[in-house]
Amino acid sequence: MNSLDVSSTMTAPTHRASCAAGDERTASRIVDLLSETFDGDEVAVAAFERPDGQWEVTLYFAAPPDETAIRDLIQLSTSRELAASMRFDDIAAQDWVKSSLEGLVPVEAGRFIVHGHHDRDRIAPNKLGIEIEAALAFGTGHHGTTRGCLLLLDQVLRLRMPKRVLDLGSGTGVLAIAAAKAMHRKILASDIDPRSTIVAAENARLNGVGEYVESIHATGFASPRFAAMGPFSLVMANILANPLRKLAPEMSAHLAPSAFIILSGLLPHQARGVIAAYRGQGVRLIRRLQLDGWTSLLMQRMG
């Protein structure tokens, strides 16, 4: 993939594949298989419920996909008929900042409110505004996973003021910015995509918390910065179920006693497996929150 030029907001053409999956369980099965098959840097997989109650699965590719291979994968997890119904098309280059923000209204999540530049003057004085421009709607708070994490962060901050905070898989930096605005403390934000680290750092600067948010490129907990900044009393990870399960032992090793963790990016049926993975590391479930078909978890290290 090309490196990000933060001075430009025009995307390259994107290749898309989509199909009507029927019910939520079938959609979830397809998402699980595709997420484990493809590299997250090359393919984005999404599932959502349509107004008619049917579920749709969509894949976005940076390069033209092998249509036969995709159909074969879909057939493995569902049926030949569903695989045959897969649709392939291209999305033309566009100004994605402008198009993603058109029609978006500020989104409240506890004390936080995520908004675009056009709503800057509408934010109430008793709210912590998070202004996000250079991002798609998934990372602006208009997605159930981001809003769920912000609501759980607000709950944590009402219970305790964490000393050391990590936003793992920070994306646009919304969660790191929210924590920095609420606490005025150093926040470590990491992402496997080097472009996202640039966007997160720029968004932190835009929101006046650039001095608090340290944005780094890292896979898992490989960077020495995790050991230097930890152990963490709060970790937020809005990624996907499979990597969350795999990261359970490493994440637990970087937690302070009684630390909180906020996990999201989960379809409802995936939550049980993630909870079990962390329970095996001595982490208990405190709250499970479901919004817009996505599940967010608040957990705490025991002892």
Residue 286 in domain: yes
Looking at the structure, tell me whether residues 24 and 143 fall in a common domain. no
- How many domains is the chain built from? 2
Looking at the structure, tell me whether residues 90 and 142 fall in a common domain. no
Looking at the structure, tell me whether residues 274 and 179 fall in a common domain. yes
Task: Note down the domain range covering 19.
Answer: 14-94
Mean pLDDT rounded to a whole number for the chain? 83
Looking at the structure, tell me whether residues 189 and 240 fall in a common domain. yes
Residue 57: which pLDDT band, with cuts at 50, 70 and 90?
confident
Mean pLDDT of 102-128: 78
Residue 33 in domain: yes
- The last residue of a domain, from among 94, 124, 155: 94
Looking at the structure, tell me whether residues 174 and 296 fall in a common domain. yes
Residue 92: which pLDDT band, with cuts at 50, 70 and 90?
low
- The last residue of a domain, from among 41, 74, 94: 94
Residue 111 in domain: no
Residue 100: which pLDDT band, with cuts at 50, 70 and 90?
very low
Q: Which of 41-45, 65-69, 210-214 shows the lowest mean pLDDT across its residues?
A: 41-45
Please say if the pLDDT value at position 302 is more than 50: yes
Residue 58 in domain: yes
Instruction: Specify the long-range contacts of residues 40-44, CB closer than 8 Å, at least 24 apart.
Output: 40/192, 40/240, 41/1, 41/192, 41/193, 42/1
Looking at the structure, tell me whether residues 153 and 278 fall in a common domain. yes
pLDDT, one tens digit per residue, over 190-202 is: 999 888 899 899 9
176/125: higher pLDDT: 176
Looking at the structure, tell me whether residues 146 and 215 fall in a common domain. yes
Mean pLDDT of 284-299: 92
Residue 69 in domain: yes
Mean pLDDT of 158-167: 96
Looking at the structure, tell me whether residues 143 and 263 fall in a common domain. yes
pLDDT, one tens digit per residue, over 128-155 is: 988 886 444 344 444 678 889 999 999 9
Q: In CATH, what number is assigned to the domain containing residue 58?
A: 3.30.70.2880
59/259: higher pLDDT: 259
Q: Which of 91-95, 168-172, 200-204, 251-255 shows the lowest mean pLDDT across its residues?
A: 91-95
Residue 97: which pLDDT band, with cuts at 50, 70 and 90?
very low
Residue 121 in domain: no
Task: Determine the pLDDT at residue 59.
Answer: 80
Please say if the pLDDT value at position 277 is more than 50: yes
Looking at the structure, tell me whether residues 62 and 179 fall in a common domain. no
Task: Determine the pLDDT at residue 136.
Answer: 40
Looking at the structure, tell me whether residues 22 and 78 fall in a common domain. yes
Residue 101 in domain: no
Task: Determine the pLDDT at residue 209.
Answer: 97
Per residue, the 3-state secondary structure of the chain, as one string, reads CCCCCCCCCECCCEEEEEEEEECHHHHHHHHHHHHHHCCCCCEEEEEEECCCCCEEEEEEECCCCCHHHHHHHHHHHCCHHHHHCCEEEEECCCEHHHHHHCCCCCEEECCEEEECHHHHHHCCCCCEEEECCCCCHHHCCCCHHHHHHHHHHHHHHHHCCCCCEEEECCCCCHHHHHHHHHHCCCEEEEECCHHHHHHHHHHHHHCCCCCCEEEEECCCCCCHHHHHHCCEEEEEEECCHHHHHHHHHHHHHCEEEEEEEEEEEECHHHHHHHHHHHHCCCEEEEEEEEECCEEEEEEEECC
Q: In CATH, what number is assigned to the domain containing residue 172?
A: 3.40.50.150
Looking at the structure, tell me whether residues 58 and 190 fall in a common domain. no
Looking at the structure, tell me whether residues 22 and 160 fall in a common domain. no
Residue 291 in domain: yes
Task: Determine the pLDDT at residue 206.
Answer: 92
- The last residue of a domain, from among 94, 128, 156: 94
Residue 168: which pLDDT band, with cuts at 50, 70 and 90?
very high
